[in-house]
Amino acid sequence: MRTTLDGAGPSGGGSRLDRSNVPGGADRAGPLAPAGLDALGVCAWFGRAQVLDDVTLSVPAATVTALIGPSGCGKSTFLRILNRMHESTEGAQMAGEVFLNGEDIYGPGHRLTDVRKQIGMVFQKPNPFPSMSIADNVTAGLGLTNTKVSRSAKVDLVEECLTRAGLWSEVKDRLDRPGSALSGGQQQRLCIARSLAVRPKVLLMDEPCSALDPTSTRRIEETIAELQGEVTIVIVTHNMQQATRVSQRAAFFLAEPGSPGGIVEQGDTVDLFERPRDPRTSDYVNGRFG
Amino acid sequence: MTTTVDLLPPSTPPSGPRQPRQLSPGLQPSDRIFHGGATTIGMVVLALTGAIGLFLGFQSIPTLHHYGLSFFTQTQWVPELNRIGIAAVLVGTVEVALVAMFVSFPLALMFALFITDYAPKRIKSSLISVIDLMAAVPSIIYGLWGFFLLQPYATNVARFLSQYFGWLPVFHVDTDPNSAVWQQSRYTSSAFIAGLAVAMMAIPLACAIMRGVFDQAPMGEREAAMALGGTRFGVARTVVLPFAKGGIIGGTMLALGRALGETAAVLIIISPAYDIKPRILEAGTQTTSALIAGNFGNATKSQLSALLTAGFVLFVITLGVNSIAAAFIRRSRSGAGTEI
């Protein structure tokens, strides 16, 4: 793991992890509170078409879990169910339960906005807010969730989150420039920093590197490696090498033609790739289809 | 046909500067006909607008020649005394338009935002039809509505404003607002009430453009804001409104262009008064288009020329406002694909 390519190393990392003075610090168990996520019997529909059937997946806290599988097997839909983004789509429905630290996020008494704040998401295409500066992009979540923060705490938060996302050394001299002026890979890391600023317990990543070149992809993977342990990560990827590089656990999704998708096999990434139990998994991870 | 590749000397440097090749579009006959037809009709529309401008311009030469700059500084419009000017009329025009903008802007903005971001999908299309229907109501109807239905209530609002905010010149009315028997007639037929009626006509236009740009706010940015835990209002404030800034300004200005030229409703509501005053609540004002509509019937040739000059000035102002609006919409990120 390479950790000293930028400010995350000697100067940035350690001291910045003390965040007793930043938002969310008080109502959390501690400065770093990654949480486990358990999906139980999750089904999903778009209109009448069922796209997921009975998916049960356990994501241990502070690990990286990769969701792999061919296109159209419901990986992204499943990911969007994990932070209740699924229901923002017209005609989308779901069944089953998703537990965050043992509590059903779809249960009564859970506000949609609170759930999404605790379970952040990074999208396939980098989507910084183009009208905002780099610094304002990082703190955008505070305004969106009506979290009041002092100016100095904001400055600290910007540095801390950009450092954790591995972007600080590249942008520290131009924090007031628009976020859209960055390269695609930098924009994606800015989006990661923006997600981290609201202190999520879980970070969902939906093919975060598919729009990026190999160098940017490597930087994102380094960022994921650095975040591991601080936040639980679930990543959807089409790149199987990436899955083996970044994740400890993996789940293989597959949808037979004409039937909804589901998990064929899940377990430790090493086992899934080197000793797959299901022949379909073996075919997929060895590149025989998909 | 033989190829010419072999005949060329192997490595002759190009003689002289290279010219880009002329490419023929290679259109099918049907494409040619359509292309020609569409171009012609487009030109006719442009020519018509240009012709109207030219006509008005030519017609105003004698008036401008005769009155010179005093046409723009004279407040009175008394052809019998050879006193003709549009200073007061222009002020009245702007006042009515500004009242209309002040009322219609927040309503159009809120309604557009409601349609795109809050309304359930199943009532969305009905809401759009209703707002479009507002644009289809003839302006004379809005005039009658303003005069017979709105005015009795609006005068109470006007009185309230002059009672409590009368120290502002805009809300001042030359009468005692606190008298036991209040002089309602001092509050009728004002720029304020005319502006309210014009606002009803400006809302659908502004709303349609704002709705168009709100709908174009990128899904990726909306989802980013939602995934951060944003409320609907948060998404609107962080993503939709910044994105739509150009469209909001442009839509408002287009509506302003509409408000500046509104005639029938204003003519019904106002009572003509030719003095420059900021007091929008007070009875009596005049706008350019109402001046023309009210006077051309029994105008002599030279009076008609004067009215057409007033029309020319309005034409130029409206053209200017609309051009600025179009520039705002086109140059903004949101407006690039917006029809105006």
State the complex-level ipTM.
0.83
- The whole model's pTM is what? 0.80
A-chain residues near B333 (CB < 8 A):
130
Dihedral sign from CA coordinates of B111, B113, B116, B121: negative
**Mean pLDDT on B41-52:** 94
Dihedral sign from CA coordinates of B280, B284, B286, B290: positive
- The set of residues, in sequence order, having a beta carbon less than 8 Å from that of B286 and lying 6+ positions away, is B77, B88, B89, B92, B270, B272, B273, B274
A-chain residues near B218 (CB < 8 A):
127
**Mean pLDDT on A256-279:** 91
- pLDDT score of A116: 92
Q: Residue A109 above 90 pLDDT?
A: no
Q: Residue A139 above 90 pLDDT?
A: yes
Q: What is the mean pLDDT of chain B?
A: 87
- pLDDT score of B333: 66
3-class SS of residue B59:
helix
Q: Residue A14 above 50 pLDDT?
A: no
Farthest-apart Cα atoms in chain A, separation:
56
Report residue A32's pLDDT band, with 50, 70 and 90 as the boundaries.
low
Report residue A212's pLDDT band, with 50, 70 and 90 as the boundaries.
confident
**Mean pLDDT on A178-194:** 90
- Domain ranges in chain A are 13-285
Report residue A236's pLDDT band, with 50, 70 and 90 as the boundaries.
very high
End-to-end CA gap in chain A: 29
Q: Residue A13 above 70 pLDDT?
A: no
Q: Which of B223, B238, B242 is closest, CB to CB, to A144?
A: B238
**Architecture field, domain B40-337:** Orthogonal Bundle (1.10)
Q: Which of A90, A132, A195 is closest, CB to CB, to B228?
A: A195
Report residue A228's pLDDT band, with 50, 70 and 90 as the boundaries.
confident
Best residue in A127, A188, A206 to probe B by mutation, most B CBs within 10 Å? A127
In whole angstroms, what is the distance from residue B138 CA to residue A84 CA?
47
- pLDDT score of B326: 84
- The set of residues, in sequence order, having a beta carbon less than 8 Å from that of A64 and lying 6+ positions away, is A224, A228, A233, A234, A235, A246, A247, A248, A249
Q: Give residue ranges of A with CB < 8 Å to any B CB.
A: 83, 85, 88, 90, 113-118, 120-121, 123, 125, 127-132, 140-141, 143-146, 191, 194-195, 198
Q: Which of A78-82, B212-216, B237-241, B298-302 shows the lowest per-residue confidence on average (mean pLDDT)? A: B298-302
A-chain residues near B224 (CB < 8 A):
123, 127-129, 191, 194
Q: Residue A29 above 70 pLDDT?
A: no
Instruction: For the domain made up of A13-285, give the CATH fold.
Output: Rossmann fold (3.40.50)
Q: Residue B264 above 50 pLDDT?
A: yes
Check A143 against B238: CB less than 8 A apart. yes
In a 10 Å sphere around its CB, with 0-12 CB exposed, 13-18 middle and 19+ buried, how is residue A184 labelled?
middle
Report residue A123's pLDDT band, with 50, 70 and 90 as the boundaries.
very high
- pLDDT score of B12: 60
Instruction: Please indicate whether residue B108 or residue A10 has the higher confidence score (pLDDT).
Output: B108
Check A195 against B229: CB less than 8 A apart. no
- Domain ranges in chain B are 40-337
